[in-house]
Amino acid sequence: MAALAAAAVLFPIALPAQQDKPWLDTHRSPDVRAALAIGAMTLSEKLGLLHGLMALPNPVPGSESVELPPEAIPAAGYVPGVPRLGIPALYETDASLGVTNPRGARPGDVATALPAALALASTFDPRIAYAAGALVGREARSKGFNVLLGGGMNLARDPRNGRNFEYLGEDPWLAGVMASASVRGTQDQRVISTVKHFALNANETNRWTLDARIDEAALRESDLLAFEIAIERGRPGAVMCAYNKVNGVYSCGNSWLLNDVLKHDWGYRGWVMSDWGAVHAADYALQGLDQESGEQLDGSVWFGTPLAIEVAQGQVPMARIDDMVHRILRSMFAVGIAGSAAETPIDYKSHSTVALDIARQGIVLLKNAGNILPVNTGLRRIAVIGGHADVGVLSGGGSSQVTPSNGSVVRITAEGNGTAARSPSEIYFPSSPLDAIRTAAPGTEVLYGSGATPADAAALASRADIAIVFVGRHEMEGHDSPNLELPDGQNALIESVAGANARTVVVLETGNPVSMPWLPRVAGVLAAWYPGQEGGRAIADILFGSVNPSGRLPMTFPIDDGETVRPILPNLGAASGAEVAIDYGEGADVGYRWYAKEGRVPLFAFGYGQSYTRFEYDRFQAAIGAELTVSFRVRNVGNRKGADVPQVYLTSAHGTAALRLLAFQKIALRPGEARSVRLSVDRRLLVEYDAARHQWAAPAGAYQLSLRRSALATAGEATATVRY
């Protein structure tokens, strides 16, 4: 690919440092190198690094097409470098589910399409998150990119948010730990990773105008804490600010968010890049934004001429321009993005085994009445119904949509109007669950029915020993789902199949929780999320038990919309572009915390997931020294090997009931095997943020802890009391 060859020439930093370019000397610290480079730069070279293009020929559909610089790789973003000084351009690509190829702008280019980030979060395993980040980083680098717009991690406050599938669930510790691991994985490949979208981009409806309102302490203890943890542990080179406003001020021009919290309080040393089309004024430079991305999408190239004028007039001091440039260069040097120009070809075969592994470990077994699963391979006839299971598995839409490496996708155009019309095409990755089931059950007759008519589906199901119904809900960036229901009559389909065959198993392919009015009438349920390009096989592996399910829910599954914090989707039906607001009145009590506080029992709790074996816990203790540590023992008391995720929660703080995940560990055990685990607890999860004093406060008192199987499972675990 010509673009890639051109990109490689622009990566000269790996060459031995030339004496006249001391900033290329990798023995010096990133800060020293950045300062040396800045000393050699002209003002226009500095300003040139502060804004970048959306690297697509026609970024705003319908507008005049823009000639891209020949060296730009068609993708999300391109920021020219300073070749005179050996400073490379930034080649930016989406995202954490794989390297995307927006609008097929790089004809024929494919990438490993990983499962949804929610599936990754369901693994509760930071090692897998690291492997995912490393895989995407490797592919990005091999394609000539040096910035991955990964690290999506907004907390799931609303189970109808169209982008939850790109994020890591509802808990700040889980999201922070998993995001940091994936950032490290990517940056170890010498590709800068972002974390995004900073902050509180928790709904997509009118995200360009949405004012996300919340109390400061609550924000610090929830969404901001997730970012704080991810940034401390992952050290992302860049933070992408969000489209929405936070408490009345646009995120990318929000001095409190960017200057006070991120840069001052947390000491963040990388740069803040805008989301694409999220800049509304040149003076965002003073509010903490360091770089304008996708400039064609903004009303003006604010960090081009308008910023230059503000600098010339002294409104934006040179010191601030130098700070902006310093932050960008520092991250380039710290991550070492300008690696070897000779990139090895991508080993898609081995990468697809990583995609398979994530999918297998991210699938959550929600119901298994009478041990209907794993499916007995000696059956006479299996009916597989619906969900386009004959062609592949569903994926989520928007900027994270990957073109998979394992074959052509199948596009299914939604018909109808209203919500159906919003998702012009659902994309199925070519990993057919039907084929995988046939392979897993060679001696069994496997029948397939599309599920188009419930009566035909019931007739098919009645002839089989077991019926496996595939259902899905397409979610995409830019849109929230209007409610929690499975669309297109799929609830009726399940009801009629379950009516015809009591041995019915439902496989969900969704980017969010869905309501399950049919739950009492089916025997088994799997949440497979969007399982990525090896998803069909992963689902069959779980159904037939060659892999023991170990996924745990990273989001609460509510009973229905009425049982959610906002029973009606906020701003449902608002005109596009209308100013809208949401009061996130639940504050820091996101997800399971809100259910606990309200005393509501959800359909399935955060942290919940079944296994084909059983685990028992004992010896739970908490000890307070320099930090709080918890320890316990886990034993596999069943007869299959499997992995468990014991979870430690705070259940009350100095007499007040509270529920917060403090620690978790994924542990694989053979039958009969036991393992002792010791974990330390981040103090900020226990205590509260005192906004008036700008610090975490720890009122003296007793903290009650509980070892659990999920946020709600009271399987007789021990509790321990500690004094801080």
- The residues of the shown chain that bind ligand BGC, judged by CB under 6 A, are 76, 94-95, 149, 196, 275-276, 399
Residue type, 566: R
Give the CA count within 13 Å in the CB-facing half-sphere of 395: 30
Round to whole Å and give the CA distance between 560 and 94.
33
Neighbour tally for 702: CB within 10 Å:
12
CB of 406 to ligand BGC, least distance (A): 23
CB of 123 to ligand BGC, least distance (A): 22
Neighbour tally for 165: CB within 10 Å:
28
Contact 124, 664 (CB under 8 A): yes
CB of 638 to ligand BGC, least distance (A): 42
Distances (CA, A) of 101 to 111, 280, 519, 578, 584: 8, 27, 39, 31, 35
CB of 185 to ligand BGC, least distance (A): 18
Judged by beta carbon, residue 245 or residue 593, the one nearer ligand BGC is 245
Judged by beta carbon, residue 275 or residue 290, the one nearer ligand BGC is 275
Judged by beta carbon, residue 105 or residue 469, the one nearer ligand BGC is 105
* Tokens read off for 309: 């004028």
CB of 543 to ligand BGC, least distance (A): 33
Judged by beta carbon, residue 61 or residue 520, the one nearer ligand BGC is 61
* Tokens read off for 664: 């978790």
CB of 203 to ligand BGC, least distance (A): 13
CB of 332 to ligand BGC, least distance (A): 19
What kind and span of H or E run contains 170? none
CB of 176 to ligand BGC, least distance (A): 18
Round to whole Å and give the CA distance between 208 and 246.
12
Round to whole Å and give the CA distance between 286 and 310.
11
Distances (CA, A) of 187 to 29, 262, 362, 400: 17, 20, 23, 19
CB of 140 to ligand BGC, least distance (A): 13
Judged by beta carbon, residue 289 or residue 559, the one nearer ligand BGC is 289
CB of 60 to ligand BGC, least distance (A): 12
* Tokens read off for 378: 């000696």
CB of 636 to ligand BGC, least distance (A): 40
Instruction: Tell me which residue of 435, 430, 426, 503 sits closest to 463, measured CA to CA.
Output: 503
CB of 658 to ligand BGC, least distance (A): 33
The dihedral built from the CA positions of residue 369, 373, 376 and 379, taken in this order, carries a sign that is: positive
Q: What angle do CA 578, 583, 587 make, to 5 degrees?
A: 150
At residue 532, φ and ψ (nearest 5 deg) are: 80, 180
Strand order in the sheet with 466-473: 364-368, 524-527, 504-510, 466-473, 381-385, 445-449
Judged by beta carbon, residue 399 or residue 571, the one nearer ligand BGC is 399
Hunting for tokens 């009391």 — which residue is that?
721
Q: What angle do CA 193, 234, 275 make, to 5 degrees?
A: 35
CB of 569 to ligand BGC, least distance (A): 19
CB of 76 to ligand BGC, least distance (A): 4
- Name the CA radius of gyration of the chain, rounded: 25
Instruction: Tell me which residue of 441, 466, 352 sits closest to 402, measured CA to CA.
Output: 352
CB of 294 to ligand BGC, least distance (A): 6
How large is the angle between the packed helices 535-544 and 433-440, nearest 10 degrees? Answer: 40
Judged by beta carbon, residue 250 or residue 557, the one nearer ligand BGC is 250
CB of 170 to ligand BGC, least distance (A): 19
Judged by beta carbon, residue 361 or residue 400, the one nearer ligand BGC is 400
Round to whole Å and give the CA distance between 474 and 116.
12
* Adjacent-strand bridge partners of 473: 510
Judged by beta carbon, residue 141 or residue 196, the one nearer ligand BGC is 196
Judged by beta carbon, residue 52 or residue 386, the one nearer ligand BGC is 52
Judged by beta carbon, residue 77 or residue 532, the one nearer ligand BGC is 77
| Three-class secondary structure of residue 443 per DSSP | coil
Judged by beta carbon, residue 94 or residue 480, the one nearer ligand BGC is 94
Residue type, 165: F
How large is the angle between the packed helices 348-362 and 535-544, nearest 10 degrees? Answer: 50
CB of 152 to ligand BGC, least distance (A): 7
Judged by beta carbon, residue 100 or residue 710, the one nearer ligand BGC is 100
Judged by beta carbon, residue 162 or residue 387, the one nearer ligand BGC is 162
Instruction: Tell me which residue of 651, 641, 592 sits closest to 615, measured CA to CA.
Output: 641
- Helix and strand counts by DSSP (H, E) for the chain: 20, 30
Contact 505, 524 (CB under 8 A): yes
Judged by beta carbon, residue 95 or residue 261, the one nearer ligand BGC is 95
Judged by beta carbon, residue 227 or residue 615, the one nearer ligand BGC is 227
Write the secondary structure of 526-544 as one string of H (helix), E (strand) and C (coil).
EECCCCCCCHHHHHHHHHH
At residue 387, φ and ψ (nearest 5 deg) are: 65, 15
Write the secondary structure of 117-154 as one string of H (helix), E (strand) and C (coil).
HHHHHHCCCHHHHHHHHHHHHHHHHHCCCCEECCCECC
Burial of 463 (0-12, 13-18, 19+ CB in 10 A): middle
Q: Which residues contact 605 (CB under 8 A, 6 or more apart)?
A: 553, 556, 557, 592, 595, 710, 711, 712, 713
Judged by beta carbon, residue 223 or residue 275, the one nearer ligand BGC is 275
